[in-house]
Amino acid sequence: MSEKRRLVCINCGHRAKELFKKYSNSLKTTQCDKCHQTTDKYIEFEEFIILIDALLLDSCAFRHIIYNGDFKLYWKISLVVLLLESFALCRQKLPEHSDASLNVHEKGFYTYTLQNIGDYLFMTLLLLIITVTLSIDWMKKMGPRSFTLIIFKVVLISNLSKFFLLPILVWRNNTTVFGRSLHHVLVMGHHLCSLVIAYEAVGATRKDLRWWALTLVVIAFAFKESARQFVSLLLEEHFT
């Protein structure tokens, strides 16, 4: 038997029995028993609006996507983001003003795709370790399967920030090396903020350990990025 789906209020994260009540041909959203606000306003919104709010780092949008929404669309979006990030990383390694820049090296693209998949899984593992260490009761309450899936969703949703790599791909030849580097730093900064807010939004740790947990998330992100750079250097010689 599959584990029962967990619904939450997107405003406070309190457990909710239902998001709406159905009356004949109309739906009426419910109110949260704790904060007395609309449990989930996003059930009446288009997916595109929800995605925009997530990119704007709205914790309510994160809670809706991870807990209450239909995640099928976001699996597909995550795949697009994965390919976009791999293409951006591959393009970044190509030399300036070279014919090679017109055709992305196929081997390099597949190599960086596998690297990014490993990056996603590694970050998920780090967050799992942090959460189990600080709040193992939460894992027991959720169940191992749901617990792991929610943490993986946090990682995928935070990677939506990589959409902002698209402009530098389009206007790569119209900017300087410093401009491209600054753009990547800003994207990584947004990605880190998204990861922290998404992790905090799911309420994975006790309130008295929240700031400690968020600090560990930042440290895990820095460790992951260091490992990523190390792996990139190892792959550099195989790129061409």
- Looking at the DSSP assignment, which residues form a beta bridge with residue 22? 27
**Distance in angstroms (rounded) separating the CA atoms of residues 19 and 64:** 11
Reply yes or no on whether the pLDDT at 108 is more than 80.
no
Asked whether residue 32 is assigned to any structural domain, the reply reads no
Reply yes or no on whether the pLDDT at 104 is more than 70.
no
96: DSSP letter = T
**Distance in angstroms (rounded) separating the CA atoms of residues 34 and 179:** 47
Phi/psi for 175 (5° steps) reads -140, 175
Tokens representing 119 are: 């990056």
Reply yes or no on whether the pLDDT at 73 is more than 50.
yes
Asked whether residue 192 is assigned to any structural domain, the reply reads yes
Asked whether residue 53 is assigned to any structural domain, the reply reads no
* Mean pLDDT value across the chain: 84
Contacts of 136 (CB under 8 A, 6+ apart): none
**Distance in angstroms (rounded) separating the CA atoms of residues 235 and 228:** 10
Weakest mean pLDDT among 49-53, 57-61, 87-91, 119-123: 87-91
Asked whether residue 42 is assigned to any structural domain, the reply reads no
Asked whether residue 52 is assigned to any structural domain, the reply reads no
Given this model, what pLDDT does residue 161 score? 92
Given this model, what pLDDT does residue 94 score? 62
User: Which structural domain, as residue segments, surrounds residue 83?
Assistant: 71-236
Confidence tier at 238 by pLDDT (50, 70, 90): low
Reply yes or no on whether the pLDDT at 82 is more than 80.
yes
**Distance in angstroms (rounded) separating the CA atoms of residues 33 and 13:** 11
Given this model, what pLDDT does residue 101 score? 46
The mean per-residue pLDDT over the stretch 154-171 comes to 88
**Distance in angstroms (rounded) separating the CA atoms of residues 203 and 10:** 11
Given this model, what pLDDT does residue 4 score? 60
Share of residues in the chain with pLDDT > 70 (%): 88
Asked whether residue 11 is assigned to any structural domain, the reply reads no
Asked whether residue 100 is assigned to any structural domain, the reply reads yes
Confidence tier at 105 by pLDDT (50, 70, 90): low
The mean per-residue pLDDT over the stretch 138-164 comes to 89
In total, how many domains does the chain have?
Answer: 1
The mean per-residue pLDDT over the stretch 2-8 comes to 69
pTM: 0.86
**Distance in angstroms (rounded) separating the CA atoms of residues 120 and 8:** 25
**What are the tens digits of pLDDT across the range 173-197?**
778 888 888 888 999 999 999 999 9
Asked whether residue 37 is assigned to any structural domain, the reply reads no
CB atoms within 10 A of CB 167: 12
Share of residues in the chain with pLDDT > 90 (%): 35
